[in-house]
A and B are shown apart, each in its own frame.
Chain A
Amino acid sequence: MKARLTYGWSVLTTPAAPAPAVGGLRRRRLAGLALLAAFLVAACLASIAVGAKAIPLEGVWHALFTPTGTEDDIVVRSLRMPRTLLGALAGGALGLAGALIQGHTRNPLADPGLLGVNNGAAFFVVIGIYAFGVTNLYGYVWFAFAGALVASVAVFVLGSVGRGGPTPVTLALAGAAVSALLAALTSAVVLIDVQTLDAYRFWAVGSLAGREVEIAGQVQWFLLAGALIGLASAPALNALSLGDDVARSLGHSVRRTRTMGVVAITLLAGSATAACGPIAFVGLVVPHIVRSFTGPDYRWLLPASALAGSTLLLAADVIGRVVVRPGELQVGIVLALIGGPFFVWLVRRRKMVAI
Chain B
Amino acid sequence: MAVLEKTPQRVPGRPALRTRGVSLVWRPRYVLVLTIGIAVLVLGMAANIGRGEYPISIPDVLAVLMGGGDSGQQFIILELRLPRSLTGALVGGALAVAGAITQSIARNPLASPDMIGLTTGASAAAVFVIVLGGGFGTVGGFLASAGLPMAALVGGLTTAFLIYGLAWRRGVQGFRLVLVGIGLQAMLMAIVHWLLVVAEVFEAARAYVWLNGSLNARGWEHVVPVSVALALLLPAAFLLAHVLGALQYGDDTARGLGVPVNRARSLLLLVAVGLASVATASAGPIAFVALVAPQIAQRLVGGARPPIGMSLVVGAALTVISDVVARTAFGATELPVGIVTAVLGAPYLLYLLARYGREARA
Contacts and interface: CB of A to CB of B under 8 A. Distances in A.
Given A288-B179, A336-B189, A344-B183, A158 B339 contact: no
B350 A174 contact: yes
A347 B179 contact: yes
A240 to B, nearest CB: 15
Interface string A139-158: 00000000000000000001
B182 A181 contact: no
B342 A180 contact: yes
Contacts of B212: 184, 187, 191
A107 interface: yes
A284 interface: yes
A332 B202 CA distance: 23
A162 B358 contact: yes
Interface string B102-121: 00000011110001000000
Interface string B162-194: 000011010000011011101110110111011
B110 A280 contact: no
11 contacts: A109-B182, A164-B360, A167-B361, A170-B353, A177-B345, A177-B353, A187-B212, A194-B205, A285-B183, A340-B186, A347-B179
Given A340-B186, A341-B183, A343-B179, A158 B291 contact: no
A330 B175 CA distance: 30
A178 B194 contact: no
A224 interface: no
B201 interface: yes
A172 B106 CA distance: 15
Nearest to B177: A347
B204 interface: yes
Contacts of B191: 333, 337
B353 A348 contact: no
B340 interface: yes
A25 interface: no
B362 interface: yes
Contacts of B115: 109
Contact of A197 (B182, B201, B288, B338): B201
Given A185-B343, A187-B212, A173 B183 contact: no
B237 interface: no
A336 B117 CA distance: 13
Given A108-B179, A180-B345, A341-B183, A332 B208 contact: no
B336 A173 contact: no
A332 B345 contact: no
A354 interface: yes
Chain B interface, DSSP helix/strand/loop, else mixed: helix
A107 B349 contact: no
Interface of A: 107-110, 158-159, 161-164, 167, 169-170, 172-174, 176-178, 180-181, 183-185, 187-188, 190-192, 194, 197-198, 201-202, 204-205, 280-281, 284-285, 288, 329-330, 332-333, 335-337, 339-341, 343-344, 347-348, 352, 354
Contacts of A188: 335, 339
Contacts of A339: 183, 186
Contacts of A281: 186
B231 to A, nearest CB: 30
Contact of B176 (A158, A173, A201, A347): A347
Contacts of B111: 109
B354 A162 contact: yes
Nearest to A197: B205
Contact of B109 (A169, A180, A204): A169
B196 interface: yes
A344 B166 contact: yes
Given A337-B187, A344-B166, A187 B208 contact: yes
B187 A187 contact: no
A109 B342 contact: no
| Highest count of chain A CB atoms <10 Å: which of B108, B109, B183, B338 | B183
Contacts of A202: 197
Q: Kindly list the 3 A-B residue pairs having the minimum CB-CB distance in the complex, ordered from nearest.
A: A162-B357, A336-B190, A340-B187
Given A162-B354, A184-B338, A205-B194, A197 B347 contact: no
Contacts of B347: 177, 181
B175 A184 contact: no
A201 B343 contact: no
Contacts of B343: 181, 184-185
A132 B336 CA distance: 25
Contact of B353 (A159, A191, A194): A159
Nearest to B106: A109
Contacts of B293: none
A282 to B, nearest CB: 10
Contacts of A333: 190-191, 193-194
A63 B191 CA distance: 36
B65 interface: no
Given A162-B356, A340-B186, A172 B109 contact: yes
A205 B175 contact: no
A176 B295 CA distance: 12
B110 to A, nearest CB: 5
Interface in B197-237: 197, 201-202, 204-205, 208-209, 212
A324 B189 CA distance: 19
Given A162-B360, A197-B208, A107 B108 contact: yes
B360 to A, nearest CB: 5
A340 B343 CA distance: 30
A340 B189 CA distance: 11
A280 B191 CA distance: 13
Contact of B187 (A167, A288, A336): A336
A191 B186 contact: no
Contacts of A174: 350, 353
B184 to A, nearest CB: 6
B333 interface: yes
A172 B112 CA distance: 13
A284 B187 CA distance: 13
Contacts of A354: 175
Given A190-B208, A340-B184, A169 B189 contact: no
B346 interface: yes
A340 B183 contact: yes
B287 interface: yes
Contacts of B340: 184
A169 B361 contact: yes
B100 interface: no
